[in-house]
Amino acid sequence: MDSKNLYFFEQAPVAKAVAHFAVPMMLGTSMSVIYSILNAYFLGTLHQMAILSTLALTQPLSALLMALGSMIGTGSGTLISRLLGEEKYDDVKHVSSFALYSSITLGLITIALGLPMIDAIVHGLGATPDSFRFTKEYVVVMIISSPFVMLFFTLENIVRSEGAPVISMKGMILSFVMNIVLDALVIFVFHQGVTGVASATATANLAASLFYVFHMRYKSKFLSVSLKQYKVNKRILIDVFSIGIPVFIMCIFLGAMSLILNHFLVKYGDRAVAAYGISSRLLQFPEFIVMGLCEGVVPLIAFAFTSNKDRLKQTIGFVIKTIMLLAVGFGVTVYLISDHLIGLFTDDTTLIDMGSYVLHVTFLSLFITGITTLITGIFQATAQRFATFIMSVVQGTTLIPVLYIANRLYGFHGVVWSLVIADSVAFLVGACMMYALRTKLKPDVEQLVE
């Protein structure tokens, strides 16, 4: 195996190895938050509410395409890291080729099914007569570019799984920078509006995907883009989709949860919706930092699971401590300056007070959410298929009954606290399954003797 990758997988101090894998992912996920804000800004300069609403209306479709790419990428990526730990390098080539061409094929199927149903899709997204034309323009480009979107999310996982998180981060940075530059050009220079912004995103995804393909073809010693290496067997199908499908389910459920939550908040007025909207945007940054940490170390956990379970235990312990430090640091900051943070978005004193309250409550679950994400990542990395599926269902569905009960009993406060309660339930379920599976994750006696 490549000596540099091997060093971080097996020999580097745990803290250094975690930093090597997690920091690039943390930086990459942070950029996605920044881009979502800048993208809204560019469309906002067109000064048409119908155009700006297109971003919100197309978010579910964007989440679906991302979920499909992550389904193949996460399943294939965790399998590749385990195969590297087992030193089955030929199998790694088969899996990486399978992932690449499967994501392209899935994208082409999306085009074939989506374009004939374009009007139905736009209506299904909730477009009004005023926003229908703009939403349709955006959706058409999204569907046509779906192979690039899925390929980007698949290959980002694949490249990271072989121990090249810096390359993975460079691809995300490339996509981010190109997206911003092209957005500015199509809005301010070429005046292309919605179609231009959607095309900019598609072009950025294509460029990043080609960057990853170049790395896999010419730089990587293990990943392959060759059709000759494309291979489908029972292990590949079971390991990729038994882990990938729960990831897909969880992404879809979590995307739907925001819509359901908004439905409950609307009953308490525009300020309630706005307070949650502002606080959720502020929470995104620390959440994505913690998620980047947990998702970034998945390849390291998967490799250690098949090669050195003592190192696996040390890695998990270190990540838990890091999550705690991050949660405490962000939490203290928020409690000290929450009014000022909400005040960046509005000067309405009532909204500032309400937003600060929501922010205080939702930040309580940052540590719990981080640990839950780590537990899910451990299940994915160690091929615990049933546990991965249970976590996806629990995380995706728990909020619905909690929201209903809490809203009936405590009104607005119940709706706000339901987020913390649902996260706590998912954490407890995950912790119980971790305890039940503890013998599979313990160090082997033979390894400790050696």
Q: Domain extents for the chain?
A: 1-231, 243-440
The whole-angstrom separation of Cα 121 and Cα 235 is 35
pLDDT of res. 52: 62
Torsion angle of C-alpha atoms 71, 75, 81, 82, degrees rounded to 10: 170
Q: How does DSSP classify residue 17?
A: H
- pLDDT tens for 296-347 read 898 889 888 888 888 888 999 999 999 999 999 988 888 888 888 888 767 7
Long-range contacts of 167-172 (CB under 8 A, 24+ apart): 167/212, 167/215, 167/219, 168/24, 168/25, 168/28, 168/212, 169/24, 169/25, 169/27, 169/28, 170/211, 171/208, 171/211, 171/212, 172/27, 172/28, 172/31, 172/32, 172/208
Copy the structure tokens of residue 310: 């003592």
Q: What is the mean pLDDT of residues 97-112?
A: 94
218 vs 308 pLDDT, higher one: 218
> Which pLDDT band, with edges at 50, 70 and 90, does 432 fall under?
very high
Copy the structure tokens of residue 344: 């960046």
155 vs 310 pLDDT, higher one: 155
pLDDT of res. 93: 93
The whole-angstrom separation of Cα 4 and Cα 222 is 13
pLDDT of res. 363: 87
Burial class (CB in 10 A: 0-12, 13-18, 19+), 281: middle
Q: How many CB atoms lie within 10 A of CB 317?
A: 11
> Which pLDDT band, with edges at 50, 70 and 90, does 155 fall under?
very high
Q: What is the mean pLDDT of residues 232-241?
A: 86
pLDDT of res. 58: 78
CA 299 to mean position of chain CA atoms? 15
Torsion angle of C-alpha atoms 298, 303, 305, 309, degrees rounded to 10: -110
The whole-angstrom separation of Cα 244 and Cα 14 is 27
Which helix (H) or strand (E) segment holds residue 18: the answer is helix 14-44
pLDDT of res. 449: 32
CA distances for 110 relative to 102, 114, 284, angstroms: 12, 6, 29
326 vs 284 pLDDT, higher one: 326
Q: Is pLDDT above 50 for 275?
A: yes
**Amino acid found at 18:** V
**Amino acid found at 26:** M
Contact 275, 351 (CB under 8 A): yes
Copy the structure tokens of residue 142: 């999204």
The whole-angstrom separation of Cα 401 and Cα 73 is 31
Q: What is the mean pLDDT of residues 177-195?
A: 85
Backbone dihedral angles phi then psi of residue 433, each to the nearest 5 degrees: -70, -35
Sign of the dihedral through C-alpha 228, 229, 230, 231: positive
DSSP codes, 250-286: HHHHHHHHHHHHHHHHGGG-HHHHHHHHHHHHHHHHH
pLDDT > 90: percent of the chain:
29
Q: Which of 140-149, 268-277, 306-315 is most confident?
A: 140-149
The whole-angstrom separation of Cα 406 and Cα 393 is 20
Q: How many CB atoms lie within 10 A of CB 444?
A: 11
270 vs 292 pLDDT, higher one: 292
pLDDT of res. 206: 94
Q: Is pLDDT above 50 for 357?
A: yes
The whole-angstrom separation of Cα 231 and Cα 98 is 6
Q: Rg of the chain's alpha carbons, rounded to an integer? A: 22
